[in-house]
Amino acid sequence: MSAFHFDFEKQRPRLSRREAIRRAMFAASGLVLANHLSFKAFAAPSTPRAKAVIQIWMWGGPSHLDIFDPKPDAGYDYCGPLKTPIETNVAGIRIGELLPSLAKQADKYSIIRSMTHGNNGHETASYLVQTGRQPGGRQVFPSVGAVVSLMKGYDAGYKGLVPPYVVLTEPQGRFDEAGFLGSRFKPFATGGNPAQLPFAVEGVVAPGVTEQRQKSRRELMHHLDMLAQTLPDDPQIAAATQAENMAYDMILGDGAKVFDLAQEKQELRDRYGKSKFGQSCLVARRLVERGIPYVTINYAGWDTHKGNFQTMQRQLPDLDKGFATLLQDLGERGLLDSTIVWWGGEFGRTPKVMWEAPWNGGRGHYGKVFSAVLAGGGFKGGQVIGASDARGEEVKERPVYPVDLIGSIYAQMGIEATAKLPNPQGLPTFVLPGAEDGIKSAGLLKEIMSA
């Protein structure tokens, strides 16, 4: 039997005598916490400022120069046709010219222009940005969403029908989001397309099967279930009935209603944009409004090796409309103060445009410096953190590593850096990695964290 057991009912580890003695020896010699990242610097506030996270994952790696870190003076070989950034509603902050709606919301978000990790592989960079850990170890660590699901989900009092970690609409596939936490903490991936009504959520809405038909099927099943009618007080039958009721509540009750965008006004749906991304943003707002603690919108299509500027012209208007309306809608409903919105991808794109064939104006992978955005949940808006150099090729000031951003999100959620994860190998494993793991850190984003 493993020396480390995890009591999910009480959310604390139970140690064998041998393991307790071993850890006591480590503690006495100062080897455990001395090598760990400064937990004091990563301490969570006594009262959590955020209840939920909406992560807009720019699957493939978005170009920082074309979106939130424009470099108009770098020349055509860097800017291409997107050489006229626009002013925002915050003096001194300019963003890409294809983002007019987000320019009007800049007071609600802060831009990090000095994200860095130096990794140029999709899978490995995704793992780094979503876990804060170096890839390639013997264990697969959980993503931020899975950790929030552990710390703020069913074992922490969450009672919703919809699972506490939801992905709209497809799981990323770049790594196992739950890691060693296991299938219980995998995200509920909706599938389907919320821009098409009804939104065919896998396991909830069956295409071609009406609500009335679902009810008729249930009534027929009850009519044929003679065993339940004969033994209504049997504990096993009672448990099965309870499970059935929960399943149908998910299909026909409140669980299904949260995904029913027909309940929203047409004007609001139009504001979000009728694209898959825009309507996913609306679904995300409905989910956090009902208490789901972590929602990821996997927005694919940003791996722009070829024809980068054609992709920007096609997709940035959808990003602009959906993202800006999400911020405005959350603010109008009083949800932005308690909801973190995290925008970003695994890396940026090469600042110098690859005009030659076969790329024809493409941009490659670039992990040296890229951008991210944070809003809500205790993060201040209207600020810029860090800077890249004149061509967007290097970090010029205030590097921000993935663990710094993730640690800041955990802090706002009230998740302690020292909280232990249930490691299947019985090893002492914390929410945040340590210096012994080879992790670089420059500290929390205190510049934008409300006191």
Q: Is 206 exposed, middle or buried (0-12, 13-18, 19+ CB in 10 A)?
A: middle
Indicate if the pLDDT at residue 266 is higher than 90.
Answer: yes
Report how far residue 330's alpha carbon sits from residue 309's, in angstroms, rounded to the nearest whole number.
31
Q: What is the pLDDT of residue 42?
A: 61
Query: Domain for residue 159, yes or no?
Result: yes
Q: What is the pLDDT of residue 211?
A: 58
Query: If pLDDT is split at 50, 70 and 90, which confidence band does 244 have?
Result: very low
Query: Domain for residue 5, yes or no?
Result: no
Instruction: Examine the domain organization and report whether 85 and 233 are in the same domain.
Output: no
Indicate if the pLDDT at residue 239 is higher than 60.
Answer: no
Instruction: Examine the domain organization and report whether 143 and 274 are in the same domain.
Output: yes
Kindly tell me the sign of the dihedral angle through the C-alpha atoms of 205, 209, 213, 218: negative
Enclosing domain of residue 238: 206-258
What's the whole-number mean pLDDT along residues 111-140?
Answer: 95
What's the number of domains the chain is made of?
2
Query: Domain for residue 172, yes or no?
Result: yes
> Between β-strands 52-58 and 339-344, what pairing exists: parallel, antiparallel or unpaired?
parallel
Instruction: Examine the domain organization and report whether 181 and 213 are in the same domain.
Output: no
- At 70-106, the pLDDT tens digits run 999 999 999 999 999 999 999 999 999 999 999 999 9
- Range with the largest mean pLDDT of 188-192, 219-223, 234-238: 188-192
Instruction: Examine the domain organization and report whether 244 and 335 are in the same domain.
Output: no
Largest CA distance in the chain: 80
Report how far residue 172's alpha carbon sits from residue 146's, in angstroms, rounded to the nearest whole number.
13
Query: If pLDDT is split at 50, 70 and 90, which confidence band does 366 have?
Result: very high
Report how far residue 84's alpha carbon sits from residue 64's, in angstroms, rounded to the nearest whole number.
15
CATH number at 411 reads 3.40.720.10
What's the whole-number mean pLDDT along residues 406-416?
Answer: 97
How does 355-368 read in b/e, with b if 16+ C-beta sit within 10 Å? eeeebebbbbbbbb
Q: With residue 95 as reference, give the H or E element that holds it.
A: strand 94-95
Query: What average pLDDT is seen over the chain?
Result: 85
Query: Domain for residue 87, yes or no?
Result: yes
Instruction: Examine the domain organization and report whether 153 and 193 are in the same domain.
Output: yes
Instruction: Examine the domain organization and report whether 438 and 310 are in the same domain.
Output: yes
Report how far residue 320's alpha carbon sits from residue 99's, in angstroms, rounded to the nearest whole number.
5
3-state secondary structure 349-371: ECCCCECCCCCCCECCEECCCEE
| Number of neighbouring beta carbons within 10 Å of residue 270 | 12
Query: Domain for residue 17, yes or no?
Result: no
Helical segments of 40-170, H only: 76-79, 100-103, 122-131, 144-152
Query: Domain for residue 163, yes or no?
Result: yes
The DSSP call for residue 154 is G
Share of the chain above pLDDT 70, in %: 78
List residues bridging with 95 in a β-sheet: 86
How far from 45 is each of 89, 143, 284, CA to CA, in Å? 30, 22, 26
Instruction: Examine the domain organization and report whether 368 and 389 are in the same domain.
Output: yes
Confirm if 88 and 95 have CB atoms less than 8 A apart. Answer: yes
Instruction: Examine the domain organization and report whether 77 and 192 are in the same domain.
Output: yes
Query: Domain for residue 95, yes or no?
Result: yes
Q: What is the pLDDT of residue 115?
A: 98
Instruction: Examine the domain organization and report whether 196 and 229 are in the same domain.
Output: no
Q: What is the pLDDT of residue 226?
A: 56
Instruction: Examine the domain organization and report whether 426 and 316 are in the same domain.
Output: yes
Instruction: Examine the domain organization and report whether 95 and 159 are in the same domain.
Output: yes
Q: Is 307 exposed, middle or buried (0-12, 13-18, 19+ CB in 10 A)?
A: middle
Query: Domain for residue 2, yes or no?
Result: no
Instruction: Examine the domain organization and report whether 367 and 406 are in the same domain.
Output: yes
- Range with the largest mean pLDDT of 20-24, 42-46, 341-345: 341-345
